[in-house]
Structure 1
Amino acid sequence: MRTVAPLHPDSWLQKPAHIAWLAAEGMRLLPFARASRVDQGFAALDACGRLPEPACAELIHTTRMTHCFALAHIQGIPGYAELLDHGIGALQGALRDTEFGGWFADAARAGDKSAYLHAFVALAASSARMAGRPGAQALLDEAIAVLEARFWSEEEGALRENLSRDWGQEEAYRGANSNMHATEAFLALADATGDTLWLQRALRIAERVIHGHAATRGHVVVEHFDQEWEALPDYNDDRRADPFRPYGSTPGHSFEWARLLLHLEAALQAAELPAPDWLLADACGLFARASRDAWNADGAPGLVYTLDWASQPVVRARLHWVHAEAIAAAAALLKRTGEPAYEDWYRCFWEFSASRFMDLQNGSWHHELDTSNQPASSIWPGKPDLYHAYQAILLPRLPLAKSLATALAV
C-alpha cells in the first residue's frame, strides 16, 4: 500500500512561495523562544516574550524547547547548539531525580512523576541524539530505561499515568493524552535507536485508545479512563477548562492523533511491518469528525477547545495548539490521500491562524483567543510553547515516514 498520493500542482504544499513562507515563519518563531532560558532549564514566557519574576524551569518547557532547538540545529541554523546543550544539561542535572530516578516536573523538585512529561523527555533526548550532541545518548538511554521500568505496561499495551516520586504509589487513572505523546515519542525512539519494538508499542497504544475506543464512538477521542481502561465521561466536569485534562472531548487531540496514525502507518511500512488498514481509516474519521464538530461550532470561525458528548461546545476559547495540530493533520492527510478536501482545510486553518494567532507585533503566536477571537489568557497565559507552532511549520514540508528530527537530518 502506498503511503503517499500525488499532489495537485496547485497544492500549497507544491508552491515554492508557501514553503518559503513556512521557513520564514520558523525563523520568526525561534528567536522569541531563546529568552526562555534560565539557569536550570527553560521557563514560561509572558505575552511579550519576557521571563516573569520569579521564573522557574519546568520540565514541559525544558523538554519541548530542547526538542525544538535540536530541530533548529539539525537544519543548520546557527545559534541553537548551545541552547540545545543547555537543555540536555538541565535534563541531566537540575530536573533529574538522582535519588529515585526519573524527572521532576519543575526545578522545585517536588511532586509526582508524570507519564506525559516523561514522554517529552524521551522525545527531547531522541531529537538531541539525532542532532549528535554530547550527552544526548546517555540521556536517551536513561529516558528509555525509566519508561520501560516505570511507565510502560506490557499487559495493557500502554503507559501508566502518574506515580509518586519514589514510584511506590500510582494514580488510579489512565489518560489518552499521555499515551498520545508516548506514541509520538515512540516513533522518534524507533528512528533514534533503530529498534522497531517502539513501533509495535506505538501500534498497541493506538489500537487501544483510538481503534478500541474512539472509532467505536464515532471517532470521538475519549480522554479519561480508570485503571481498567473503562471510560470516565464525567471526569473533570467541575474543571471543564483544565489545560491538560479538560472535561469532554478535545478536538485538537483528534487532529494530533490523526497525524500520528499516518506517521505510524508510514513507519511500519518502511520497516516492512504490518500496517493495519484501520490506521488510515481512523485518521480520516478523526479528522472528519473534529473538523465538522469543532470548526465554527458557536457561529464564529475557529476551532473550539472542547465539546461535550453531544458535540456541543463546552469551552469555546480557541487555542493555538489546536489549530497548529489541525494544520499538520490536514497536510499529512493531503500527502497521504491527495484528496482536495484536505487542501481546502489546510488553507482554511492557515488563513485563520496567520490572521488571528500570529502576533507580528510582540512575536510568536497568541496562545489563546476568546469567543470573539481576541487574544485572551484564561487557560494559557503568556506564550510559553514553541513546540506546536514550530512543528506546524515543519511537518507540511516533510515526508510521513520519519520522525521530525530524523526527517530533517536526512
Structure 2
Amino acid sequence: MSAETFPNDAWLDAECRRLIEFGRHVVHPLGGAAWLDDRGTPDLARPVHTWITSRMVHVHGLGALLGVEGAAEVAEGTLAGLRTTLRDDEHGGWFEAVGRDGVATSAVKSCYAHAFVMLAGSTGVVAGVPGAEDVLADATRVFERHFWDEDRGRVVDEWDRGWSEPAPYRGLNSTMHSLEAMLAVGDVTGDPVWHQRAARLAGLVVDLAGAHDGRLPEHFGPDWSVDLELNRDRPDDPFKPYGATVGHGLEWSRLLLHLEATLGGAAPAGLLETSRLLFERAVADGWHVDGSPGFVYTTDWSGRPVVRARMHWVAAEAIAAAAALHRRTGEEGYAQCHGSWWAYAAEHLLDLEQGSWHHELDPDNRPHASVWPGKPDLYHAVQATLLPRLPLTPSLASAVAVSDALRSPA
C-alpha cells in the first residue's frame, strides 16, 4: 500500500490485538467456544457451535503465533471442545452444535463445519496447540471419506448423523470454506493433493462467474444444477440466503489469488481474471448503492439489492480482497478501495466502547441484530487486519509463523 493509505501497519496490529482480546473469555464450560454477546460475555443459553469453535481455535491460534498473552490457553480450551463435546464418538465427525446439556442440537453433519475443523486443526498444528495434530488427522480422514467427491472434484454438503444418506443440497459456501481449508492443510501437511483439490473447486467458480456475469449462484441440486430461486421467501437466511451474496464474491476473489500464488506455474488459467470480475461485480452491485455507505448483503440476479443490512464480515472481506488484488497487480485503485473501506469500518463497525465490531448494521449504518445477535465471530475481522500485511502464500497461520514483523507488537 502507498504510505498515504489508511491504515498503517501499527494501526492494523493494534486492532488485531484488540479483537483477539475481546474473545479472551470465549471458552465454554463444556469445552469449545461460547456464543459471545455484545460485551464479549459468554451467552451460555446458546448452543456450542462447531463452526464458531473452529474459528475461535483459528483466531486464538493466530494470537498465540503473534505472541498475544493468554491466546495459546484460549486456543487449547476451544480445541478441547473439538476433541470431546462436539465430536461424535459413535459415528465419527462433528456435530453442528450441542446444547448446554451436551446433547447434539441437530442430526446433520455439515461440510461447512467440517471444513472449519480442518482449518482449526491446521492452525493449531502451526501454533503448537496440544491435541491439534490428532484433530487435523481425524478431520482430514472424515473429510476425504464423506465430503470429498473425487469423481466430480466437488464437495458433498450434508449427511445424516450416521453417514447413511447425503442430503440433496449442494452449496458454494461450503465449497468456498473447503478450498480455504485445503490451502491451509496442504501447507501444513506438505501433501500436494489438498492444493490440487482446491484447484478443482476453483474451476467450478471460474465457470460460474463467467456464466453469470460475476454474480455467483450459491445453491445447487445433487447433480450441481443451479437453483437461483432457493429461499426467495427467506432472503436473509444467515447461511443460505436468496440471490447473490456480495461478500462471497469478494471472498472468492481473494481466495482465487491465494490459490494462484500457492500453485504458481501449475495454477489453472483464469484465476486473476475471475478474481477481478468477482471483485468488480461485488463492488458495483454492493457498495454504496442505496444512498448510504456500506455493502448490502445480497442482490437479485440483475444486481438489485434484496437484503440491505450491512454485515461486518462483508466489509472485512472487501478489505482483504482489495489488499490481495493490490498485492497481486500493484494497481493503486485497489489500495484506494482498501483504505476507503477501512475508513468505513473504523467509522461504523468498530465498537470502541464494548469491543469487537458490530456484526450487523441497518441500511442507515445503525447497529442492528436481525440476523446476527451478539458478537460471536472474530474470524473475518481478525483476518482483515492480518492479510494486508502478509504475502498471498502460504496460508495465514503458516505465514504468521514465519513473519518476524508480525510476531512482535508494532
TM-score bin (small chain): over 0.9
Q: Where in structure 2 are the equivalents of 1:344-383 lying within 5 Å?
A: 344-383=336-375
3-state SS of paired residue (1:42): coil
3-state SS of paired residue (2:35): coil
- RMSD across aligned C-alpha pairs, in angstroms? 1.2
> Could you state the TM-score of these two structures normalised by the residue count of structure 2?
0.94
3-state SS of paired residue (1:285): helix
- Structure 1 residue corresponding to 2:20, chosen from 20, 26, 30: 30
Q: CA deviation at 1:55?
A: 3.9
CA contact (8 A) 2:215 2:281 kept: yes
- The aligned residue for residue 216 of structure 2 is 221
Q: CA deviation at 1:8?
A: 4.7
Q: Where in structure 2 are the equivalents of 1:6-405 lying within 5 Å?
A: 8=2, 10-11=4-5, 18-40=8-30, 41-107=32-98, 108-109=103-104, 110-208=106-204, 210-269=205-264, 273-405=265-397
3-state SS of paired residue (1:220): coil
Q: CA deviation at 1:170?
A: 1.3
Q: CA deviation at 1:138?
A: 1.0
Distance in 2, matches of 1:19 and 1:8, equals: 12
3-state SS of paired residue (1:38): coil
What's the CA shift string for 1:310-355, capped at 9, x where partnerless?
A: 1000000000000000000000000000111101111111111110
Amino acid in the other structure paired with 2:304: Q
CA contact (8 A) 2:26 2:74 kept: no
Q: CA deviation at 1:83?
A: 1.1
* Matched pairs, number: 396
Amino acid in the other structure paired with 1:338: G
Distance in 1, matches of 2:401 and 2:39, equals: 32
Distance in 2, matches of 1:354 and 1:11, equals: 14
Q: CA deviation at 1:302?
A: 0.6
Distance in 1, matches of 2:288 and 2:3, equals: 29
Q: CA deviation at 1:10?
A: 4.4
What's the CA shift string for 1:372-395, capped at 9, x where partnerless?
A: 110000011110001010000010
- The aligned residue for residue 3 of structure 1 is none
Q: CA deviation at 1:260?
A: 0.3
Name structure 1 gaps, 5 residues minimum.
Answer: 1-6
Distance in 2, matches of 1:8 and 1:381, equals: 37
CA contact (8 A) 1:321 1:389 kept: yes
What's the CA shift string for 1:240-267, capped at 9, x where partnerless?
A: 0000100000010011001000000000
Q: CA deviation at 1:35?
A: 2.1
3-state SS of paired residue (2:15): helix
Distance in 1, matches of 2:109 and 2:39, equals: 31
CA contact (8 A) 1:38 1:56 kept: no
Amino acid in the other structure paired with 2:48: A
Query: CA 1:203 to 1:92, structure 2 compared with 1: closer, same or farther past 3 Å?
Result: same
Q: CA deviation at 1:22?
A: 0.2
CA contact (8 A) 2:36 2:375 kept: yes
Q: CA deviation at 1:46?
A: 1.3
CA contact (8 A) 1:38 1:55 kept: no
Name structure 2 gaps, 5 residues minimum.
Answer: 403-410
Distance in 2, matches of 1:120 and 1:64, equals: 7
What's the CA shift string for 1:117-165, capped at 9, x where partnerless?
A: 0000000000001112221111111000000001000011111011000
3-state SS of paired residue (2:266): coil
Q: CA deviation at 1:56?
A: 2.9
CA contact (8 A) 1:327 1:350 kept: yes
Amino acid in the other structure paired with 2:340: C
Q: Which runs of 4+ in 1 moved over 2 A?
A: 7-12
CA contact (8 A) 2:110 2:159 kept: yes
3-state SS of paired residue (2:352): coil
